[in-house]
C-alpha cells in the first residue's frame, strides 16, 4: 500500500506518495495562498493529491490513508485545525472537508510533530524509542516522541519547545513573550545578533561576504565567514551554539530522550554544529553526564511529508 502525505505550509502545499518503507515515490507542490477561504485551500489539496496519484500511476485503492501536517494546534482526534497563527485558521474541520473529495482515512497532526515522527521512524532517530527533533529555522519548532509515539500534549498544545523561556526579561520573541529559546536559537536570532555585532566590526569577513549590506546577511554567510577564520563570526557562532545548548540541556533535564535530533537549515553544518553544541549541553545538564545522542536530522524538508504520510501506519519500522 501507499500513503499520501500533505505538508500544509504558509507558502506551499506539498503532497507526496510514500511507500511502506517511508520513501517518497513522487511529490508535487502548489502555492498555499493562505489568504484564501479555507475551502479553496482544501479543494486544492484534494486536486493536487488526485493529480499526483494519476501522474504516479497509482490507483486510489492502493492508498491506505492521507496524513496532513499543519502548523498550529491540530486536534488529531477530531481532525480539526483549532488554531494556526501562520495560516490564519480557526477551527477548520480539515479532515471532514478533505474527505468530501477523497474518501480515505485522514489523519491530522502538527507539522513539527510530523517531522519528528518521520525522523523517529525512518530518519536520524530510527534506532531510538524516545527522541526530540528540534528544527532551527525562522523559528524553533519541536516534536517529542516517547515510546515511539508522538507526545502532542493533552490538548494538542505540547511540543512548543521554542517558546520555553530561557532568559526571563530577555529579548522579545515573535509570540509576545520575552526570553523564549526561539529568540536566541533560531536562524532569525543568529542573523539579528550578527547584525548587532558587526556594526562595531567593519573589517569582519561577514561585511565582505554581505557586500557591506546588513540586509544581505544570512546564516550561511556567518558560517562561511567563520570557515574563513573570521574571529567575529567565530565568536557570534560560539554564543549561538551556547544558546542552542542551553535549550537542549533544558529538554534533557526534563525528559532525557534517547536522542535529540537537530533539523532546519542550520543542521547542514553537521559536526561543525554538533560538536560545540554538545560541549554546551554537557555544561548545562544537571550532572554533566550526557547520555542522550545528539545528531543532525536526516530527512530535511521531506520529513513533513513522510511523517504526515506515516501517521496512517502507526507502527515502528
Q: Which residues bind a second copy (CB under 8 A)?
A: 73, 83, 128-130, 142, 144, 146-147, 151-161, 163-168, 170, 175, 177, 243, 246, 249-258, 283-287, 289, 291-292
- β-partners of residue 3 are 18, 65
Q: Which is nearer to a second copy, 64 or 165 (CB)?
A: 165
Q: Which is nearer to a second copy, 81 or 221 (CB)?
A: 81
Q: Which is nearer to a second copy, 182 or 302 (CB)?
A: 182
Q: Which is nearer to a second copy, 48 or 277 (CB)?
A: 277
Nearest to 91 by CA among 78, 110, 105, 109: 78
Residues ≥6 apart with Cβ < 8 Å to 189 = 171, 182, 183, 240, 243
Shortest Å, Cβ 102 to a second copy: 31
Q: Which is nearer to a second copy, 32 or 250 (CB)?
A: 250
**131-136: strand order across its sheet:** 149-150, 140-146, 131-136, 259-263, 293-296
Shortest Å, Cβ 205 to a second copy: 28
Shortest Å, Cβ 63 to a second copy: 30
Shortest Å, Cβ 64 to a second copy: 26
Shortest Å, Cβ 34 to a second copy: 19
- β-partners of residue 6 are 15, 68
The C-alpha atoms of residue 115 and residue 12 are separated, in whole angstroms, by 16
The C-alpha atoms of residue 286 and residue 185 are separated, in whole angstroms, by 21
Burial class (CB in 10 A: 0-12, 13-18, 19+), 224: middle
Shortest Å, Cβ 276 to a second copy: 17
DSSP-based three-state secondary structure for 278: helix
Three cell numbers, residue 288: 554533566
DSSP-based three-state secondary structure for 72: coil
Q: Which is nearer to a second copy, 129 or 220 (CB)?
A: 129
Q: Which is nearer to a second copy, 37 or 291 (CB)?
A: 291
Q: Is there a contact between 66 and 18 (Cβ–Cβ < 8 Å)?
A: no
Shortest Å, Cβ 257 to a second copy: 6
Residues ≥6 apart with Cβ < 8 Å to 50 = 60, 101, 102
Amino acid at each position: 500500500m501507499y500513503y499520501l502525505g500533505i505538508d500544509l505550509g504558509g507558502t506551499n502545499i506539498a503532497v507526496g506518495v510514500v511507500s511502506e518503507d517511508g520513501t517518497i515515490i513522487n511529490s508535487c507542490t502548489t502555492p498555499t495562498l493562505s489568504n484564501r477561504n479555507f475551502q479553496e485551500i482544501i479543494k486544492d489539496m484534494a486536486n493536487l493529491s488526485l493529480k499526483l496519484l494519476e501522474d504516479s500511476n497509482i490507483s486510489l485503492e492502493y492508498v491506505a490513508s492521507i496524513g496532513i501536517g499543519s502548523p498550529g494546534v491540530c486536534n488529531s482526534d477530531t481532525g480539526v485545525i483549532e488554531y494556526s497563527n501562520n495560516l490564519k485558521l480557526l477551527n477548520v474541520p480539515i479532515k471532514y472537508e478533505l474527505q468530501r473529495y477523497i474518501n480515505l482515512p485522514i489523519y491530522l497532526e502538527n507539522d513539527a510533530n510530523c517531522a519528528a515522527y518521520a525522523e523517529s521512524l525512518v530518519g536520524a532517530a530510527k534506532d531510538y524509542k524516545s527522541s526530540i527533533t528540534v528544527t532551527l529555522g525562522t523559528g524553533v519548532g519541536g516534536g517529542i516522541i516517547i515510546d515511539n509515539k508522538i507526545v502532542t500534549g493533552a490538548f494538542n498544545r505540547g511540543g512548543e519547545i521554542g517558546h520555553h523561556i530561557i532568559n526571563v526579561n530577555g529579548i522579545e520573541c515573535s509570540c509576545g513573550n520575552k526570553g523564549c529559546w526561539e529568540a536566541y536559537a533560531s536562524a532569525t536570532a543568529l542573523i539579528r545578533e550578527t547584525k548587532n555585532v558587526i556594526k562595531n566590526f567593519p573589517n569582519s569577513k561577514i561585511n565582505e561576504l554581505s557586500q557591506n549590506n546588513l540586509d544581505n546577511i544570512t546564516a550561511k554567510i556567518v558560517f562561511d565567514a567563520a570557515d574563513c577564520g573570521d574571529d567575529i563570526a567565530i565568536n557570534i557562532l560560539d554564543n549561538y551554539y551556547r544558546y542552542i545548548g542551553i535549550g537542549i540541556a533544558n529538554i534533557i533535564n526534563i525528559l532525557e530522550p534517547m536522542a535529540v535530533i537537530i533539523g532546519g537549515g542550520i543542521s547542514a553544518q553537521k559536526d561543525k554544529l554538533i560538536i560545540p553544541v554538545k560541549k554546551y549541553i554537557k555544561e548545562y545538564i544537571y550532572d554533566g553526564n550526557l547520555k542522550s545522542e545528539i545528531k543532525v536530522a536526516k530527512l530535511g524538508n521531506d520529513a513533513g511529508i513522510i511523517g504526515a504520510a506515516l501517521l496512517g501506519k502507526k507502527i515502528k519500522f
